[in-house]
Amino acid sequence: MRGPSIDDRNFDDLVREGLSLLPVYAPEWTDHNPSDPGITLVELLAYFSDILLYRLGRITPAAKLQFLRLLKGSEQYGFGEPGSAATADELQCAIDEAVRELAHMDCAVTPRDFERLAIAAAQRRMPQRRVRVHCIANTDLSGGRMRTSAVDARGHVSVVLAPPDDTSPYEAAQLREAVREYLLPRCLMTTRLHVVAPVVLQVGIGFKVALLPGVSMQAAQADIAEALHRRFGGTGEPDSETPAFGQPLNLSAIMAVIDRVPGIDYVENVTVLSLTTEADAPDASVGVQIGATSTVGVDTLIGGPGALGGERLIRDSEGVLASIRVKPWELLRLFVAPDGIHAVGAGDRDRNRNRRSDHG
């Protein structure tokens, strides 16, 4: 006789349910006779499912209580003993609580686990501030290796931690150490953990803008710099829209940010004047221009020394520039280069307006 169970289905019920699902998940399977090997497999699975359901129905409340104590590692549950007034609801509530605790992961296995736990540890020291984290598996970024090509290392996990830009170097180092101490006991035994600071990729740009009547160039420069910092800087605010680690820099995105600044009529000839990191030469530069209509791959031109920064240029099938490559452990910092903003002349303004009106 079957004991009480959360599932009252028997062998026949399971077979009928399995057969009813065949037209949904395998419409090409048309032979549902008992002689078909697939039907035999359905019946076999139903047989073992029936056995498991029977065993579930035979588990007594006392057995559940003992399993609960084994999971919790203590004798803290006194209900269920002879003479106690415990109810089935109390036991079920205790079981649900234990299941919720077990479902809360406290061990870092995947990169997402490392990032989640690192963010939790960082927010303890920097509440209400946005600390960005990126985990790269099988990678050793310690000791300046991120500036070389020798970063692949089996069993190593590198967590790149980027606090807000206004964080002092001492505070940033203390934050990395606190996150590392928090993650170490939560790693697998063979994991070699590294918590490092990101490499900042400084991108200096230049461009031409046409201002609306009554707007001064000085005010426009300040508004553009603020807009670029809000979009491509590390403000540390929870709602900031800074790019993720390793996300390519699309030149059309730069133009879109500048074009939305109040007081700007339009922008053209966005030019990347410099691409530098801590390891680059200070004079490393590359000139990259994008036309007024911002059609990447159609009206994009590459200028300047071809060898400088060439490994970071992502081109389309026609060989024209589409975006700037950013490495997984790098953070993008965009700024307007000195003397990088120029006003569009009156003649250029008329030609561009006629061109845009011709295109509708």
Is pTM beyond 0.85? Reply is no
| Band (170; pLDDT cuts 50, 70, 90) | very high
> What pLDDT is stored for residue 283 in this prediction?
38
CB 133 within 8 A of CB 122: yes
Element holding 75 (H helix, E strand) = none
In this predicted model, which residue has the larger pLDDT, 356 or 13? 13
Span 263-289, mean pLDDT? 67
SS3 sequence, 90-142?
HHHHHHHHHHHHHHCCCCECCHHHHHHHHHHHHHHHCCCCCCEEEEEEEECCH
Percent of the chain with pLDDT strictly greater than 70: 74
pLDDT tens-digit profile of 248-273? 888 888 889 999 999 999 888 787 78
Q: Where in the chain is the domain with CATH 3.30.300.20?
A: 111-197
The matching CATH number, chosen from 3.20.20.370, 3.30.70.1560, 3.30.300.20, 1.10.1040.10, for 111-197 is 3.30.300.20
- Better-predicted residue by pLDDT, 335 or 294: 335
Least confident of 49-53, 135-139, 268-272: 268-272
**71 or 76: whose pLDDT is higher?**
71
The pLDDT of 121-130, averaged and rounded, is 88
What tens digit of pLDDT does each residue of 292-321 get? 333 333 333 333 334 345 677 777 677 666
Q: What are phi and psi of 2, to 5 degrees?
A: -75, 135
Query: Worst-scoring range by mean pLDDT, 87-101, 144-158, 328-342?
Result: 144-158
Among candidate residues 127, 223, 209, the one with its CA nearest the CA of residue 175: 127
pLDDT in tens, 184-194: 999 988 899 99
Asked if pLDDT for residue 105 goes beyond 70, the answer is: no
Sheet (strand 321-324) strand order: 249-250, 321-324, 313-315
- For residue 76, the model assigns a pLDDT of 64
Which amino acid, residue 167?
Answer: T
Mean pLDDT of 23-29: 89
**Residue 163 above 60 pLDDT?**
yes
Q: Is pLDDT larger for residue 282 or for residue 222?
A: 222
Cross-strand pairs, 290 = 270, 300
Is the predicted pLDDT of residue 280 greater than 50, yes or no?
A: no
Average pLDDT score over the chain:
78
**Both structure tokens of 42:** 């359905």
User: Hey, which bits of the chain come out as E strands?
Assistant: 132-139, 152-162, 192-196, 199-211, 249-250, 264-276, 287-290, 300-303, 313-315, 321-324, 330-343
Q: What is the pLDDT of residue 307?
A: 37
Band (149; pLDDT cuts 50, 70, 90) = low
